[in-house]
Amino acid sequence: MTLLALDWLLIIEKLVLIAIIVFASLGIALYTTFAERKVAAVLQDRPGPERAGPFGLFQPFADGLKLIMKEEIIPNSSNKALFILGPGLAMTAALMTCAVIPWGSSVQLFGRTIDLQIADVNIGILYIFGVVSLGVYGIMIGGWASNNKFSLMAALRGASQAISYELAMGIALIALLMTTGSLSLRTIVEQQMAPGHLWNIAYQPLGFLLFFICAMAECNRTPFDLPEAENELNFGYHQEYSSMKLGFYLFSEYVNMIMSSAVMASLYFGGYDIPFFDESVLPQNIAALVGVGTLLLKIVVFIFIFMWIRWTIPRFRYDQLMNLGWKSLIPLALVNMLITGAWILAKL
Amino acid sequence: MEALTSRSVQVSRKPMSLAERLFLPAIFKGMSITFSHIFKKQPTIRYPEQRREFSPVFRGLHVLNRDEEGRERCTACGLCAVACPAEAITMEAAERLPGEEHLYREEKYAAKYEINMLRCIFCGLCEEACPKDAIYLSETFAPANYTRKGFIYGKDEMVIPNVKTDPEGYAKAKGSPRNN
């Protein structure tokens, strides 16, 4: 008798895809921590980690091992359940965004066409925004559960920063969606790949700038890293955390960075599209793999730019941050939307 | 009122222009400066494969000298111990027996000579105080150790090898002449 009349092959295919993408993201995040230290070093005239393994390539494993071996301290007066929940929530929200990003076109394996995207929901971008907003909970819960004034202040600032910049990001995105007409990420990427179309950066340069600034603010990345500043707020909302819980918080920040880079690459820079190259000359599987490689390259470039900016600019003060978010970016985003609307009307 | 120094700069309190308020031109300029640092030479020295060159007057570990015939110069007069501001040097004198003329220069010599490297501040006052040119500070610095006891250097760790009986040790301890 048939086992529950389900398409088992589909489920296995999706499970394998999820495993590959999640582990690949975690692996890239691991080496992003190493890259952060190396990029910071060369920008500061010094070599960075070089001793652990050839060229220091085993350094992330050494860091992970150090974090695991440390003592797990849970403060007595903290809210224990929430204390443990905070980092888990941050990591979950960071990883869940990888579900709707189109990592490549599609491969032909075992007689089936497998899309290199876990779930092609037709509200792709909205899902990403929802999950990113969940990330705010991770910060808030971490700050509250620590039972520490500094953590609470840091968490408050972090949460207010996140929601302020989400608005500008959303409005900048609306302008983009007016030109593409669809929320699904795969449709947006395929539109950019279509002949006669340029990448969306050419149609929405101001929108990209706004999105980039807001993505930096969402990832708590300098110059917007006040919630986790060492000298301002005594290390911020992950002050009371030690060992692997701290590791999760720090790691989730890097995963967030990678996912933001992937989203920006897909929305504005063509995703897995190779510029000036027609992929149909290659067999389908090879073209898909080359597309994945291209997307990874774009993500790497974005991550380098994130780090480059981090080590160039000092951080914003809280009121300057709020000023920028509400009084500068939102009006700019609205103006961008108006201009895009006028342009679409003029074209019709 | 007159400025106190010739390097004073008048603070400009003009309101920011549009280009300055945007922050972006300044940010891009800063980013180009940071980017140029990737291609600059790094002054890092990878110890222990590379070592730093010290100047000839660098004050490192102490060396007890011998004269040209290989006899120890130190006569345990105690001037270095008195001069030492950290009280790091201790010694015990002994009398030279008739069969030991090739070992020690004068009739009194140091049977036990100890410097506590944890107390020593490497000031060089013992080198300046010695009337016999017996002690000087060389270019090596004190390596790490696990116990405090390991840092109390005895005479055999500090005395230079005998040029007559151990010429290669002596040459190695002397090192090569500097090119400046």
CB-based contact A311 B46, cutoff 8 Å = no
Residue A37 belongs to domain spanning: 8-47+57-347
Residues of A in contact with B35 (CB under 8 A): 43, 308
Suggest the residue from A208, A212, A313 to mutate for an interface test with chain B (most B CBs closer than 10 A).
Answer: A313
Out of B30, B40, B43, the one facing A312 most closely (by C-beta) is B30
Nearest-Cα residue of chain A relative to residue B27: A313
Out of A42, A44, A313, the one facing B27 most closely (by C-beta) is A313
Whether A308 is in a domain gets the answer yes
Q: How does pLDDT run across A184-213, given as a tens digit for each residue? A: 988 999 888 888 888 888 888 999 999 999
Q: What is the DSSP string of B87-145?
A: --EEEEEEEPPGGGTTTBSSSEEEEEEEEETTT-----HHHHH-TTS-EEE-S--PPP-
B161 pLDDT band (50/70/90 cuts)?
A: confident
ipTM: 0.80
Is some CB atom of chain A closer than 8 A to the CB atom of B27?
Answer: yes
Q: Is A99 in a helix, a strand, or coil?
A: helix
Q: How many domains does chain A have?
A: 1
> For tokens 């603010």, what's the residue?
A217
pLDDT over threshold 70, residue A314: yes
Whether A2 is in a domain gets the answer no
Out of A46, A50, A312, the one facing B34 most closely (by C-beta) is A312
Is some CB atom of chain A closer than 8 A to the CB atom of B51?
Answer: no
Is some CB atom of chain B closer than 8 A to the CB atom of A50?
Answer: yes
Is some CB atom of chain B closer than 8 A to the CB atom of A43?
Answer: yes
Q: Is A73 in a helix, a strand, or coil?
A: coil
Whether A3 is in a domain gets the answer no
CB-based contact B40 A45, cutoff 8 Å = yes
CB-based contact A42 B44, cutoff 8 Å = no
Whether residue A138 contacts residue A86, with contact meaning beta carbons closer than 8 Å, is answered with: yes
Q: How does pLDDT run across A254-275, given as a tens digit for each residue? A: 999 999 999 999 999 988 888 8
- Return d(Cα B97, Cα B33) in angstroms, integer: 73
pLDDT over threshold 80, residue A105: yes
- Return d(Cα A1, Cα B175) in angstroms, integer: 88
Q: Does the model's pTM come out above 0.95?
A: no
Which residues make beta-bridge pairs with B93? B110
Whether A108 is in a domain gets the answer yes
Q: How many CB atoms lie within 10 A of CB A47?
A: 13
Phi-psi group of B9: left, alpha or beta (phi > 0 → left; psi -120 to 50 → alpha; rest → beta): beta
Q: List domains and CATH numbers for chain B.
A: 62-173 (3.30.70.3270)
Whether A170 is in a domain gets the answer yes
pLDDT of res. A230 = 55
Mean pLDDT of A276-291: 81
Sequence-distant (≥ 6) Cβ neighbours of residue B11 within 8 angstroms:
none
Structure tokens at A210: 């706004």
Whether residue A237 contacts residue A228, with contact meaning beta carbons closer than 8 Å, is answered with: yes
Which residues make beta-bridge pairs with A115? A106
Q: How does pLDDT run across A17-62, given as a tens digit for each residue? A: 899 999 999 999 989 999 999 999 999 999 888 888 888 899 999 9
Mean pLDDT of B30-36: 91
